[in-house]
């Protein structure tokens, strides 16, 4: 299945009425590889969560995303002390096909094993996730993404706190997905890596400061503006009156 184009029209997503993503319009082309960059608090994670349907937009529309997305959340969001084995975590990636009740086929199990091998964790099937290092756990989550086999893959800071080797392995996987024609969107902070590896970039600071070819978006002037805008915080803002032409 090939990904559809994802179109955002005047999208605003807020936390307690404070906009985190503000009047964003644009498109993720099918098969594109985009890095979302911007300072902390710029609305990057919120955008991904909205795309995945986990955060309802306040205004505007997201089209073309429903039902084809796999999201890798920030690693810190998970309880790693949970008593569960690696293979079981990976098998949750089959949820779309198995649902809550259907049996998991032998082929499904084989795919899960193969996914663990693909992320370099052969022989880790029964290891409890609590015994893994941060990097190994991230590999397990990538294996789960492999099983989800979604046309659109969203990664929220996938390489945080990883050593160079692990980051390189997982980045290779990202390129593999790109090569298979999937749409990949990744939130990243390492601008060097973005310039080197990601053809498209979206610079966010609540408002969109640039969306297009990476070299054009990541200019010094743009990044400075991003910093200033993300840190602005009015004590008593008025309701927003802005109406962008779609």
Partner 1 sequence: MGCLALSVAAPPLGVFLMLRRMSLTADVLGHGILPGVAAGFLLAGLSLPAMAAGGLAAGLAVAVGAGALSRATGGREDASLAALYLVALASGVAMVSWRGGAVELTNLLFGSVLGVDDAALLLMAGSATVTLAVLALAWRPLVLECFDPGFARAVGARGALWHMAFLALVVLNLIAAFQALGTLMAVGLMMLPAIAARHWARQVGGMAYASVAIALASAWGGLLLSFHADVPSGPAVVLAAGAAWLVSTLLGPVDGLLARLWRRPHLAG
The residues binding partner 1 (CB under 8 A) are 52-54, 69-71, 73, 77-79, 82-85, 88-89, 92, 95-96, 98, 100-101, 128, 148
Contact present, 104 and 94 (Cβ < 8 Å): yes
- The minimum distance between CB 82 and partner 1, in angstroms, equals 5
DSSP-derived secondary structure for 93-107: GGHHHHTTTSPPPHH
Per-residue exposure over 138-160, b if at least 16 CB sit within 10 Å of its own CB, e if not: bbbbbbbbbbbbbbbbbbbbbbb
Measured from the CB atom, the residue of 37 and 89 that comes closer to partner 1 is 89
Measured from the CB atom, the residue of 73 and 135 that comes closer to partner 1 is 73
- The minimum distance between CB 197 and partner 1, in angstroms, equals 25
Measured from the CB atom, the residue of 52 and 186 that comes closer to partner 1 is 52
Measured from the CB atom, the residue of 116 and 208 that comes closer to partner 1 is 116
DSSP-derived secondary structure for 161-175: T--HHHHHHHHHHHH
Measured from the CB atom, the residue of 94 and 218 that comes closer to partner 1 is 94
Q: Give strand pairing partners of 79.
A: none
- The minimum distance between CB 72 and partner 1, in angstroms, equals 9
- The minimum distance between CB 240 and partner 1, in angstroms, equals 24
The structure tokens 């009156």 sit at 241
Measured from the CB atom, the residue of 88 and 231 that comes closer to partner 1 is 88
Euclidean distance between CA atoms 67 and 61, whole angstroms: 15
Euclidean distance between CA atoms 95 and 117, whole angstroms: 20
- The minimum distance between CB 241 and partner 1, in angstroms, equals 28
With H, G, I as helix, E, B as strand and everything else as coil, classify residue 3. Answer: coil
Q: Give strand pairing partners of 23.
A: none
Euclidean distance between CA atoms 46 and 159, whole angstroms: 18
Measured from the CB atom, the residue of 88 and 244 that comes closer to partner 1 is 88
- The minimum distance between CB 96 and partner 1, in angstroms, equals 6
- The minimum distance between CB 246 and partner 1, in angstroms, equals 27
99: Cβ–Cβ under 8 A, 6 or more apart, which residues?
A: none
The structure tokens 């190994």 sit at 136
């Amino acid at each position: 299945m090939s990904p559809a184009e994802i179109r955002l029209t005047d999208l605003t997503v807020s936390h307690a009425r404070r906009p985190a993503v503000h009047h964003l319009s644009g498109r993720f082309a099918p098969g594109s590889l985009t890095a979302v960059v911007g300072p902390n608090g710029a609305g990057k994670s919120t955008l991904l969560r909205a795309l995945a349907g986990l955060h309802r937009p306040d205004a505007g529309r997201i089209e073309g995303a429903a039902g084809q997305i796999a999201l890798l959340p920030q690693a810190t969001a998970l309880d790693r002390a949970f008593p569960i084995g690696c293979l079981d975590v990976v098998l949750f990636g089959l949820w779309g096909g198995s649902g809550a009740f259907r049996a998991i086929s032998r082929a499904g199990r084989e795919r899960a094993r193969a996914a663990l091998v693909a992320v370099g964790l052969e022989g880790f099937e029964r290891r409890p996730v609590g015994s893994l290092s941060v990097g190994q756990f991230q590999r397990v989550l990538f294996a789960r993404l492999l099983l989800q086999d979604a046309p659109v893959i969203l990664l929220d800071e996938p390489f945080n706190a990883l050593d160079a080797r692990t980051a390189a392995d997982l980045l290779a996987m990202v390129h593999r997905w790109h090569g298979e024609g999937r749409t990949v969107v990744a939130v990243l902070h390492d601008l060097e890596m973005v310039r080197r590896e990601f053809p498209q970039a979206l610079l966010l600071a609540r408002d969109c400061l640039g969306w297009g070819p990476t070299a054009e978006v990541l200019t010094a002037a743009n990044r400075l503006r991003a910093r200033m805008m993300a840190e602005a915080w009015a004590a008593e803002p008025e309701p927003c009156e802005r109406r962008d032409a779609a």
